[in-house]
Chain A
Amino acid sequence: MESGSIPTFQPRLKVLNHRQALAIHTAALEILEKTGIKMEHNESLDMLAGAGGRVFDKDWIRLPAYLAEEAIRSAPRQIALYDQLGNKTMPMVDENPFYGTGSDTTFTLDLETGERRRCILADTANFAKLVDGLENISFAMSMGNPEDVSKVDYIYVYAFAEMVKNTNKPIVFIADRSEDIAKIYDIACLVAGGEDQLRQKPFLLNYSEAISPLRFPAHVMDRLIFCARKGIPICLPSGSNAGGGAPVTLAGAMAMGIAENLVGLIVHQLVAKGAPFLFGPNVSALDMKSAVVSYGCPEWSLTQGALADMRDEIYGLPIWSFAGASDSKVVDAQAGAEAMFSIITAMLSRCNLIHDNGYLEYGSTSSLEMVTIANELVAMARFFIKGIPVNETTLALDALERVKNAGPQAFFLMDDHTFENFEQALFLPKLLDRSRYDSWEADGSKDLYTRSNEEAKRILSEHQVTPKDDGVLKEIDDLLKAL
């Protein structure tokens, strides 16, 4: 028997069967056809009406199902994001999961004092640099809403420039309106070496949001159309959280969120057929005691698992999702438990672009330690989905034979088979502690929070980000000064 001839099953989560998936999709189409949506952007409203939509109350419009079906067909199945050095590092297609940080938190946990304080630009720089140095974190987001920018109108441009200066990984960015997204695009072109180069090897993706329920403001559509025309990948999830922005039952919240997403996709594809659109709503849950929209709940993981099934059954488009976040205020057991729950389920569902790793306090606070921990948890999850390869080498009957024959003192630990295979066969943690009690105590009895704090500090002081060309950096600074 040739080794490796048995295909390896890779553990995979299934949430919906085909009929459930179709029923949610059909409900989403019914929302578009019967309920309609509020399109506050004239150009988009005209476009939709021209394509077959029926305006019924000022800016409310109903959309026939075929518009959605056509848009799903014309959008690309793969979105490949490149790093800023031109390598294709995030081929989002079918079952490839990529984890990254999140955007605008108000507060961050100070690395030195542990205190929760307002975010500043230097934090965005630190998060980007940390991401650059962590092997399982594939893309950067701002992780903060910096307090110290000179012009608040251009906050997202400053944040973007800060990320470009501190990482070469792909960037998922936020913008507010036509003016600031144009500036961000200019910076991206400087980095990529021109418009064509950027279109050819996009290293950025825009995260915009429609307003649940069913509302599409003009400035959001401006961004969507800008990205469609420039070939910048974009996602447009809405806030369809169960019980708050959407029906409390998860099927209904998903149907509404998907309907909202389809509206974005339709306009996007009407503007530029084949432009890259990352699919998927944010279907979390509103906590019924605190009225907080949760970032640690099982519901969000469940709905995005369901969405991954719908991707496979129906849409074929790569999807947007979340993981590695928590509602806890501090880096504690709750934070670890919630982060791991979403990380492993997103991995098992093969979600594609997985943001918000490192969030605490339902998205109000960010933590460098949490990102560092998430990096390790993602490694654990990745190990898990590799499954158990079954072949001659891994069945290791000859190793057993050798050990049996080598006398009573022989053990597997010293057999060549162990030496040759242990690095692939086992998960080797870096941050999670498995040391003996005495050595753990001798080393200062450090818990995971302390160790991740030290590791984050170490990376920030030792990691070298491949520097950008001085000329490019100067042009970026000139652009910022001219804002």
Chain B
Amino acid sequence: MSYQTLLDAVIKGDIKTATEETLKAVDAGQNAQDILDQGLIEAMNVVGGKFSKGAIFVPQMLRSAKTMQECVEVLKPHFQENAMTTKGKIVLGTVKGDLHDIGKNLVGMMLEGAGFSIIDLGVDVAPEVFVDKIKEAKADVLGMSALLSTTMPSMSLTIKALADSGLRDTVKVIIGGAPVTRKYAQDIGADSYAPDAGSAVLEAQKLLNKT
């Protein structure tokens, strides 16, 4: 079955048509995972491509991401035993002492749009809180945001805390935020760094080898 109408609706951010199309596909007996992968995520790949070329603006991209989320809500009950396969589980948060969250929220939306599932711990997140959540959720990736040079050291402390609790090898760490640099990421032993939300998606895909 072709998902073209669904694809177009997600790309346009037409929530009504997109959710109707999703339901139609389900009713026609399509596999929920296929609708997700070949319809919704595929549409978001197109959107991401347009955005990185500067062909569309942030609010248009976020509208598509929101459209996708609404469709996922429609799909959820149709996965066998709730076994929706995402591209990976990402724990995200702004580090301790830091209250900036606009960039982190944007990164979260983009990652979700690309098919990752996101657990957002909010702002001012202490290392042990990250560690506990990663353990509990069996996360694949940890994403940390810092907008202050004074809170960047907390990223390093969190990576140490991961090592101390024996979890470091189970999770990839990606960091970002205006004062953060690739070099800093290397220095503190993070696996990756991204300067903006668009490249955060590409980096996360690379980390989990899911392009």
Contacts and interface: CB of A to CB of B under 8 A. Distances in A.
Interface of A: 104, 106, 145, 147, 152, 155, 176, 211, 215, 217, 243-245, 248, 286, 288-291, 293, 364
Range class of the B interface residue count: 10 to 19
A211 B103 CA distance: 14
B166 interface: no
B149 A104 contact: yes
A241 to B, nearest CB: 8
Given A106-B149, A106-B178, A288 B58 contact: yes
Contacts of B153: 152
B23 interface: no
Given A106-B179, A211-B99, A288 B59 contact: yes
B179 A364 contact: yes
A278 to B, nearest CB: 22
B58 A155 contact: no
27 contacts: A106-B149, A106-B178, A106-B179, A145-B149, A145-B150, A152-B150, A155-B150, A211-B99, A215-B99, A243-B59, A244-B102, A248-B59, A286-B58, A288-B57, A288-B58, A288-B59, A289-B54, A289-B57, A289-B58, A290-B196, A291-B58, A291-B106, A291-B196, A291-B197, A293-B102, A364-B178, A364-B179
Nearest to A290: B196
Interface of B: 54, 57-59, 99, 102-103, 106, 148-150, 153, 178-179, 196-197
A42 B148 CA distance: 26
Contacts of A248: 59
B94 to A, nearest CB: 11
Q: Which has the most chain A C-beta neighbours within 10 Å: B58, B106, B148, B153? A: B58
A176 B150 contact: yes
A215 B101 CA distance: 12
Contacts of B54: 289
Closest 7 CB pairs of A and B: A106-B179, A288-B57, A145-B149, A244-B102, A288-B58, A211-B99, A291-B58
A347 B42 CA distance: 51
A244 to B, nearest CB: 5
A217 B179 CA distance: 23
Contacts of B57: 288-289
Nearest to B99: A211
B18 to A, nearest CB: 22
A392 to B, nearest CB: 57
Nearest to A361: B178
Nearest to A245: B102
Q: Which has the most chain A C-beta neighbours within 10 Å: B54, B106, B149, B150? A: B149
Given A289-B57, A364-B178, A364-B179, A217 B99 contact: yes
A243 B60 CA distance: 13
A243 B58 CA distance: 10
Given A211-B99, A291-B197, 7 more contacts: A106-B178, A145-B149, A244-B102, A286-B102, A289-B54, A291-B103, A291-B196
A297 to B, nearest CB: 15
Contacts of A289: 54, 57-58
Contacts of B106: 291
Contacts of B197: 291
